[in-house]
Chain A
Amino acid sequence: MPAQPFQQDPSVPPSCVVEVTGVPEKVASTEPVQSVRTPIRMEYTYTPGRALSDYLVAMKDKKIIAERCPETGQVFVPPRGVSPVAGVVTAGKVELPATGYVESFNITRVPIATRPDLEPPYCSAWILLDGASISFMGLVINCEPESVKLGTRVRAVWKPDDELEMAATNILGWEPTGEPDVEIPDIERIGQKGDLE
């Protein structure tokens, strides 16, 4: 029996018979089951929480809000309300400039089916914002991906003012500023930075 095409419509129930052997005569002509599809859809009202809400709300005004660990002084962005180093609640908002440098990057050459807006090759990077203790992820845009280096200075490229939302997607990407590259002296400590101010 040829394989049946995969049923794409979740509202269509799967057929009901497994094997020809031992199947009652009245259903013997029914097609055997090739696969079972269990359509699952669940809806959630997502709550970002206190710290992340503040971060997203500030995004509407093109502001990047971080929070400081009261014990170590480290600055976390985006803030999640807690310092993973000290295990304590972060407090004291810090507004960071929308500039920083590339701490690590990767060039992707394969398209992603669910992201047609990302045309390969593109460059994704860990960007350390000026004043932050931890880098966060973004796309490096408005340049050849091959030109990106560790230490490339970048600044945020924002959506047009009339399209701004309370969302991290307000930052379309990060473009090189043209400033000299930052020298990263302690490259083996990337990801473990603990700049005390």
Chain B
Amino acid sequence: MREIAIVSFAQRQEPAITSESEVEFMVPLMQQAKEAVGLRQQDMGFTCSGSSDFLAGQAFSFVMTIDGTGPVPPISESHVEQDGAWALYEAWVKLQCGDVDTAFVYSYGKSSPGSLRDVLATQMDPYYVAPLWPDAFSIEGLAARMLLESGKVSERQLAEIASRSREHASSNPHAVRNTPKSVEEILAEEFVADPLRPSDIPASADGGCAMVLAAGDRARELCDRPVWIRGIDHRIDSHTLGARDLTDAMSARIAAEKAGVGRDKIDFAELHAPFTTSEAVLTEALGLGDDVTINPSGGPLAAHTMMAAGHIRFGEAFERIARGDGDRAVVHATAGPVLQQNMVAVLEGE
């Protein structure tokens, strides 16, 4: 296996970006990530992006954003209709193949133009579930009810997760939900989708991020402290909600084992946990103990940019390790309803 590291990262997240198109707000981020390591587009061995036509409401929407890379003359490029974490995975595979030493990965999403709760229903199976037009919060509410009834977690514990996220987010300039709230205040909130309260659900944001990956000594040339991807794996659970245990995340459990989470001490974890319930399930499935700081950035409860939120977890962990706030971290990304697909990686400083 080749050593592969993250060497630079740039992000932007806001409650809604209404004055700029996707490519307009991505170009400065793309330039920032490249300039941080002194690279230009023609220095990139491979470029990969993650976004969704369903969010943009436009077919082949990603093609417009490729303009922002400067793709003429033609570049080696690919796209995933997934969170950017999966674009990062594709770039990681490309780097493993050995024919390129650098890769540029970016992802973005604007959910403010439409109803994300409804858009997400289009990812359900088209015969039995999608015709019911289930909104995303209701599905998570059903899973949350099962989790509470199972006794694995209490409403108060969920409120504690929400409260801690807000506290961590207060030092994150990209967080869109960072006002402090006590556990009691959260427990007093009106339900959105009983038993989920406003503080239990993701803080919707528009935005994106850009990142440079490099292999081996190339990474050491580009920055002082490359953050190595020591293990990475992704797994998928059944599409059929009734066919899996919604109080557990089997695919995350397997991915964590394959990525080597348990092999050494973990300083902190950046989990793509959109709901407080997802965080409770993931902490258990990934085997993270009480000594591990969960989501020091505030996580998706503080800022959830659809299609970039998983990718941003890699970036948040990179920045923290690069400046010395920890040496070994777990990073997680998810896709699909109720933690259906899960990616787990272990990052380590030089």
A positions within 8 Å CB-CB of B = 13-14, 36-40, 42-52, 80-89
Contacts and interface: CB of A to CB of B under 8 A. Distances in A.
Interface stretch (B17-25, B76-84, B337-345): B17-25
A106 B110 CA distance: 36
Chain B contact residues: over half helix, strand or loop, or mixed?
A: helix
B170 interface: no
B24 A49 contact: yes
B310 to A, nearest CB: 23
Contacts of B23: 49, 80-82
A87 B27 CA distance: 7
Chain B CB within 10 A, most for which of A50, A82, A88, A89: A82
A89 B57 contact: no
Contacts of A51: 21, 24
B69 interface: yes
Nearest to A84: B67
B27 A50 contact: no
Nearest to B18: A47
A50 B18 CA distance: 9
12 contacts: A38-B130, A40-B122, A45-B112, A47-B19, A47-B20, A49-B19, A49-B21, A80-B64, A81-B20, A82-B24, A84-B66, A87-B27
Contact of A46 (B72, B113, B127, B131): B113
Contacts of A85: 70, 72
Nearest to A194: B72
Contacts of A86: 70
A51 B21 CA distance: 9
B131 A14 contact: yes
Contacts of A48: 21
Nearest to A76: B67
Given A44-B113, A46-B113, A82 B67 contact: yes
B216 interface: no
A77 to B, nearest CB: 14
